[in-house]
Structures are given as structure tokens and as C-alpha cells.
Amino acid sequence: MVRIIEVPSDNERVQTLIAVQKAYSIEHTPPGSGHAIVAGGKPEGRFFLAVLGEEAAGCIALKGLGEGVAEIKAMHVYERFRGQGIASALVARLVEEAKVGGVEVLKLETGPNEPWAASRAVYTKAGFTPCERYGEYAADPFSYCMELRLN
């Protein structure tokens, strides 16, 4: 059974997953359209790790944007663990954490093409709907944004 645990943003297993997610983003995103968190240092936000046994399987982050709005960042599940509901468990945990934290709207950015279809399906299943591009994504035609109203 998967456990979702909160870890510091500089946790080695989270940093490795962020680096893998960034590489995936670079491979499947046009130049200038990648908005993944960069590994290294101590990225802003709350980070959660999906653990099966003692092995890291995936991660997700919650970044506050202010005024009751937060954003999902860095959601990634290692390929060998996909199809087991881990991404859904990560998203569900983040939605609960956002609610407890007083977030009213939870947003995210992903890609519009096939490599991001599974991500979009997970978010849609969790109740997210497409929304206007926002913030740093507003001018990027490759950004596909979604939101979930929590109130």
C-alpha cells in the first residue's frame, strides 16, 4: 500500500524525482515552454513523497500563490509505478492539505499533448476542469491549465 509522507523540499528522493520530471518535461515540451521545478537547493512549497515499502514511487508539491490560491507543482510518478493509482493518491492528499490550509482554488499547469494525457486524466478524475492560463503560463500557448474550486 502506498504511503504519502511530507518531506523537506531538499529531500534527496524528492530532488531525484524533480530531476527526472524536469528531464521528462524537456523531452516532451517545446523549447521555452518547460515550467518544471529545477532540482537543487530548496524549492518553495510543501513536498510530498509516495512511498511503496521503502521505495520512493512519486512526488507532488503544493505552492501557495496568495489570496486563497495554490498550485500543484512537480507531480511525477516513476514509470515502473504507473497504473497503480499512485498519482491519484498524491493528488488526493494534496487536495486535502490544500483544504486544511484554507485554499479556495487549486490550480495546475500541464501540457496539452499526448505525453501529458495521463496527467490530465488523473486531474480530471479528481474534479479539476480546464481554466484560463495564469501567472507565468499566461503567454505560453503550450501550457494547459486546470483548476479545482475547494469551497
pLDDT of res. 43: 58
The letter for the amino acid at 18 is I
pLDDT by residue (tens digit) across 8-33? 988 999 999 988 888 888 888 877 77
Check: CB of residue 64 under 8 Å from CB of residue 70: yes
3-class DSSP assignment, residue 98: helix
CA atoms within 13 A on the CB side of 100: 7
18 burial (CB, 10 Å; 0-12 / 13-18 / 19+) is: buried
Query: Which domain does 129 fall in, by range?
Result: 2-149
For 148, the grid coordinates are 479545482
pLDDT of res. 147: 99
pTM for the complete prediction? 0.91
pLDDT of res. 27: 84
Better-predicted residue by pLDDT, 43 or 121: 121
pLDDT of res. 91: 98
pLDDT of res. 95: 98
pLDDT of res. 31: 75
52 burial (CB, 10 Å; 0-12 / 13-18 / 19+) is: middle
Instruction: Count structural domains, the chain.
Output: 1
CATH number for the domain harbouring residue 26 = 3.40.630.30
pLDDT above 60 (res 39): no
